[in-house]
């Protein structure tokens, strides 16, 4: 689009693709200046429509001139002002629509967003020395998942109590779409005893939501509720998702 006006007009003329419409509605929620532009467009469009309507009623207005003589000026002022609440209401409807499109996502979309924001990059130690775990993290962050998995598996084989290695093995499997394998790793992690904080149950729920096969959502919902009830790692996120379910 050449400018904002054309962009806004294209939305109301239903000329945008679905992805563009969604982006427009999300922007109405996130960008206050843009939402004001949209409100002004709605008001201007309605005012123009009202003007055309008045022109079409000109003959009727002349016929009624005698009856309306005293109140004509106030009538015109009223017709302009009366559309203000309608324009505001229209903008509010657009805002609400955009808000729910933005915030009310499916469980799978919530999982996808979480994976993109929290699981695609792993934290690394700030020191210069790199053991196999750190090398695996580096490979993972560089999307060299094959190398990363080999390194994590080597660490876990040598140290079966290394919960981070097991967790990262699950991350690799999740990132590469091997959901069955990820579920096995996260289930094993969830069953580990003596950990100060254990994200296994929550990550298992995330994987089920991402896989989205028959029965996965129901099982994931049960796991998320268990995470909340037991105040396990991920309980705050789980509670938020359950409230949006």
Among 60, 75, 104, identify where a domain stops.
104
Band the pLDDT of 75: cuts 50, 70, 90.
very low
The whole-number pLDDT of residue 102 equals 46
Most confident range, picked from 41-50, 75-84, 104-113, 170-179: 170-179
Terminal Cα distance for the chain, rounded: 36
Residue 151 has pLDDT above 60, yes or no: yes
* 128 shares its domain with 211: yes
Among candidates 12, 14, 22, which has minimal Cα distance to 98? Answer: 22
What does the pLDDT average to over 167-180? 97
What does the pLDDT average to over 152-181? 97
Band the pLDDT of 154: cuts 50, 70, 90.
very high
What does the pLDDT average to over 173-179? 96
The larger pLDDT score, comparing residue 244 to residue 207, is at: 207
* 120 shares its domain with 214: yes
Among 76, 104, 132, identify where a domain stops.
104
* 229 shares its domain with 200: yes
Q: Which residues contact 198 (CB under 8 A, 6 or more apart)?
A: 163, 189, 190, 192, 232, 233
* 93 shares its domain with 205: no
Query: Is this prediction's pTM over 0.85?
Result: no
* 56 shares its domain with 120: no
Separation of alpha carbons 40 and 65, rounded Å: 33
* 113 shares its domain with 234: yes
Q: 3-state SS of the chain?
A: CCCHHHHHHHHHCCCCCHHHHHHHHHHHHHCHHHHHHHHHHHHHHHHHHHHHHHHHCHHHHHHCHHHHHHHHHHHHHHHHHHHHHHHHHHHHHHHHHHHHHHHCCCHHHHHHHHHHHHHCCCCCCCCCCCCHHHHHHHHHHCCCHHHHHHHHHHHHHHCCCCHHHHHHHHHHHHHCCCHHHHHHHHHHHHCCCCCCCCCHHHHHHHHHHHHCCCCHHHHHHHHHHHHHHHCCCCHHHHHHHHHHC
Residue 145 has pLDDT above 50, yes or no: yes
**For the chain, what is the radius of gyration of the CA atoms?**
29
Separation of alpha carbons 52 and 118, rounded Å: 54
* 75 shares its domain with 130: no
The whole-number pLDDT of residue 200 equals 98
CB atoms within 10 A of CB 36: 12
Report residue 87 as tokens: 């324009």
Give the Å distances, CA to CA, from 3 to 10, 31, 95, 204.
11, 16, 21, 46
Separation of alpha carbons 52 and 61, rounded Å: 13
Q: Give the total number of structural domains in the chain.
A: 2
Compute the mean pLDDT over every residue in the chain, rounded to the nearest whole number. Answer: 82
The whole-number pLDDT of residue 161 equals 93
What residues make up the domain containing 8? Answer: 4-104
Report residue 170: phi and psi, to 5°. -65, -40
The whole-number pLDDT of residue 9 equals 85
Separation of alpha carbons 23 and 101, rounded Å: 10
* 189 shares its domain with 122: yes
* 58 shares its domain with 138: no
The whole-number pLDDT of residue 179 equals 97
Band the pLDDT of 232: cuts 50, 70, 90.
very high
CATH number for the domain that contains residue 137: 1.25.40.10
* 66 shares its domain with 178: no
* 128 shares its domain with 95: no
* 11 shares its domain with 91: yes
Among 82, 104, 126, identify where a domain stops.
104
């Amino acid at each position: 689009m050449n400018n904002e006006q054309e962009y806004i007009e294209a939305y109301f003329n239903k000329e945008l693709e679905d992805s563009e419409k969604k982006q427009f509605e999300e922007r109405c929620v996130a960008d206050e200046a843009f939402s004001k532009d949209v409100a002004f467009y709605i008001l201007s469009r309605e005012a123009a429509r009202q003007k055309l309507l008045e022109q079409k009623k000109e003959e009727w207005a002349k016929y009624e001139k005698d009856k309306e003589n005293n109140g004509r000026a106030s009538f015109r002022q009223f017709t302009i002002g009366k559309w203000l609440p309608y324009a505001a209401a229209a903008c509010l409807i657009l805002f609400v629509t955009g808000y729910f499109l933005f915030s009310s996502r499916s469980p799978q979309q919530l999982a996808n967003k979480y994976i993109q924001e929290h699981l695609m990059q792993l934290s690394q130690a700030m020191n210069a020395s790199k053991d196999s775990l750190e090398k695996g993290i580096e490979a993972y962050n560089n999307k060299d998942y094959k190398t990363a998995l080999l390194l994590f598996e080597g660490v876990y084989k040598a140290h079966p109590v290394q919960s981070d290695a097991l967790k990262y093995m699950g991350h690799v499997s999740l990132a590469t779409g091997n959901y069955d394998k990820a579920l096995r790793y996260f289930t094993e992690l969830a069953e580990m005893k003596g950990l100060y904080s254990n994200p296994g149950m929550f990550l298992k729920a995330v994987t089920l939501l991402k896989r989205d096969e028959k029965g996965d959502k129901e099982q994931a919902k049960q796991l998320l509720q268990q995470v909340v009830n037991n105040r396990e790692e991920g309980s705050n996120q789980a509670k938020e998702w359950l409230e949006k379910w």
